[in-house]
């Protein structure tokens, strides 16, 4: 597979879309129920629930869209990795509950996916890829 750049670029795009979709959808869900979301954040004992809500919206919707576009994807992926890991620690550490353990492990796996993007970039089918190609053409 490493000898097929088109396949690599396609898989990178699909991977970004799949990772971003759940964050964008979750962000719009939070946007539709601010009081419920703020209440859930408060029930987890996290500080400043309204601020945490605003951060969640910005990260899930804003960073999610940037990831789909592949714009500054390495930095965006690091932000999403930190957010996903913080969510695991803030909401899914009741390991006596099998469901929470599964959610914790899911968040760790998603964090791993984001770290892959941070390490290897967004691929050719992205704004980052387009900028890199334009830079090579100009240089």
Residue 134: CB partners within 8 Å, gap ≥ 6?
none
How many Å apart are CA 11 and CA 108, to the nearest integer? 21
How many Å apart are CA 16 and CA 14, to the nearest integer? 5
Residue-range definition of the domain harbouring residue 93: 5-138
Our measurement of the distance from residue 137's CA atom to the centroid of its chain's CA atoms, rounded to an integer in Å, reads: 31
Looking at residues 8-15, what average pLDDT do you find?
A: 94
Q: What is the pLDDT of residue 106?
A: 97
Q: What is the pLDDT of residue 2?
A: 64
Q: What is the pLDDT of residue 3?
A: 86
Q: How confident is the model at residue 73 (pLDDT cuts 50, 70, 90)?
A: very high
Residue 93: CB partners within 8 Å, gap ≥ 6?
100, 104
């Amino acid at each position: 597979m490493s000898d097929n750049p088109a396949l690599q670029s396609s898989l990178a795009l699909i991977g970004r879309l799949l990772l971003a979709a759940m964050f964008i959808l979750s962000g719009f869900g939070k946007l539709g129920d601010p009081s419920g979301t703020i209440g859930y954040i408060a029930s987890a004992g996290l500080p400043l629930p309204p601020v945490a809500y605003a951060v969640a919206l910005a990260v899930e919707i804003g960073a999610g869209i940037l990831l789909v576009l592949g714009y500054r994807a390495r930095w965006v992926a690091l932000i999403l990795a930190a957010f996903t890991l913080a969510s695991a620690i803030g909401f899914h550490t009741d390991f006596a509950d099998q469901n929470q353990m599964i959610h914790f492990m899911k968040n760790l796996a998603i964090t791993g996916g984001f770290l892959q993007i941070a390490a290897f970039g967004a691929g050719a089918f992205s704004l980052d890829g387009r900028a890199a190609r334009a830079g090579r053409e100009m240089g």
